[in-house]
Amino acid sequence: MNRKSKLMAGLLGLAFLTLCAGTAWASGGGTEAAAATGMPQDGSPWWYWPIILLVATFIMGIVAVLGGVGGGVLFVPIISGFFPFHLDFVRGAGLLVALAGALAAGPGLLRSGLASLRLAIPVALIASSCAIVGAMVGLALPTNIVQIALGATILGICVLMLTAKKSTFPDVPESDKLGSILKIYGVYREESTGETINWKVHRTPLGLLLFVVIGVMAGMFGLGAGWANVPVLNLLMGAPLKISVATSKFLLSITDTSAAWIYMNQGAVIPMMVVPSLVGIMLGSFVGVRILKVVKPTFIRWMVIGILAFAGLKALSKGLGF
């Protein structure tokens, strides 16, 4: 890794950790108690936390692109861990942030043929239905239970990121019966080699079953589900990696829509949190794509895993009352 890459990665990491530490210190331990009495929390002007949120999500947007993760998986654990917002509103905002990112990327991915509507539509029906269940359960459970479950899930995601392999072109000898009936197959041109790739899937029933779990978790925790979608589509069902990544991104626009409506209808959306987050992540993603050429993604991915592990432990400790 060259000097410029190391310097940039180091600066990003330092900026982010400083921001997290600063927000954790500023938000303090008695925030919720102070809020419950209706007393002012920390004397800061009303725009202070939204601006910090904008900056934090901007950095998150950059880091997410460089680390190859969705913004959603970073948003909920980090914002809930280090900001004074209640987890209910963080999850609502997280879903809308992931949704906005998917809506922004979806048209291009569909037009290029990298995202497959045929692969997405059956999967989306399962995931979006279950996301409704997850959102309702998540809003009904006591906050500390959700924090503990969130912490455990985030740590599980870290393990998955460390251990999961990728398969650029999985070997799928033949489509299974359900995949054939649903006609889940396609053709795309691999730009890096100029090859035309015919793809199909297998293990479709098991894949659809896993999307039940993915949908519930997406709704419950307000996480984008890209971290789970891609391994299932790629490693289990055998879709090529690019098709899996692109279809996963597009899929979020449907899965997160259903869960986001539940949070909205239950009042768990605060525009002062949603809009700065949305703008920050989108701007950050835009910048991240541009500096991707300069920074080595592997190092950033390790940094993302480290940040997520820290956030996961923080969520666990909050849930356990430490």
Partner 1 sequence: MSQDQKIGPSPEQLLYANILNKGMLAGLIILLITFALYVFGIVSPYVPLDKLSNYWGLGVNDYLHELNIPTGWAWLGMLGYSDFLNFIGIAFLAGVSIICYIAIIPTLLKNDDKIFAVIAILEVIVLTAAASGIFGSGGH
Within positions 94 to 113, which residues make up the interface with partner 1, using CB under 8 A? 96, 99-100, 103-104, 106-108, 110-113
Compute the distance between CA of residue 116 and CA of residue 114 in angstroms, rounded to an integer: 6
3-state secondary structure of 195: strand
Compute the distance between CA of residue 58 and CA of residue 276 in angstroms, rounded to an integer: 9
Compute the distance between CA of residue 242 and CA of residue 163 in angstroms, rounded to an integer: 19
Interacting positions 154-173 with partner 1 (CB under 8 A):
none
- For residue 113, the 8-state DSSP code is T
Residue 46, Cβ neighbours under 10 Å: how many?
7
| φ and ψ of 216, to 5 deg | -60, -45
3-state secondary structure of 196: strand
**Residues 6+ away with beta carbon under 8 Å from 149:** 141, 220, 221, 319
Asked if 187 interacts with partner 1 (CB under 8 A), we say yes
| Contact indicator for 175, 185 with CB cutoff of 8 Å | yes
Stretch of residues binding partner 1 (CB under 8 A), selected from 32-40, 165-173, 206-214, 294-302: 32-40
Stretch of residues binding partner 1 (CB under 8 A), selected from 57-65, 156-164, 187-195, 295-303: 187-195
- For residue 83, the 8-state DSSP code is S
| φ and ψ of 197, to 5 deg | -110, 120
- For residue 144, the 8-state DSSP code is H
Binding mask 136-155 for partner 1 (x = CB under 8 A): x--xxxxx------------
3-state secondary structure of 199: strand
Asked if 218 interacts with partner 1 (CB under 8 A), we say no
Interacting positions 108-137 with partner 1 (CB under 8 A):
108, 110-113, 116-118, 121-122, 124-125, 128-129, 132, 136
Compute the distance between CA of residue 82 and CA of residue 277 in angstroms, rounded to an integer: 14
CB of 301 to partner 1, least distance (A): 28
Of 3, 25, 39, 163, the one binding partner 1 by CB under 8 A: 39
- Closer CB to partner 1, 67 or 222, in the complex: 222
CB of 21 to partner 1, least distance (A): 19
CB of 73 to partner 1, least distance (A): 20
CB of 129 to partner 1, least distance (A): 5
Binding mask 6-25 for partner 1 (x = CB under 8 A): --------------------
Binding mask 283-322 for partner 1 (x = CB under 8 A): ----------------------------------------
CB of 87 to partner 1, least distance (A): 8
| Contact indicator for 61, 287 with CB cutoff of 8 Å | yes
- For residue 115, the 8-state DSSP code is S
Asked if 38 interacts with partner 1 (CB under 8 A), we say yes
Asked if 217 interacts with partner 1 (CB under 8 A), we say no
Structure tokens given for 158: 């870290």
- Closer CB to partner 1, 213 or 272, in the complex: 272
Count of residues that interact with partner 1, criterion CB under 8 A:
84
Q: Length of the chain in residues, anyone?
A: 322
Structure tokens given for 277: 């987050």
Element housing 234 (H / E): none
Stretch of residues binding partner 1 (CB under 8 A), selected from 27-35, 156-164, 239-247, 314-322: 27-35
Residue 145, Cβ neighbours under 10 Å: how many?
11
Stretch of residues binding partner 1 (CB under 8 A), selected from 83-91, 159-167, 234-242, 296-304: 83-91
Interacting positions 257-286 with partner 1 (CB under 8 A):
257-262, 264-275, 278-279
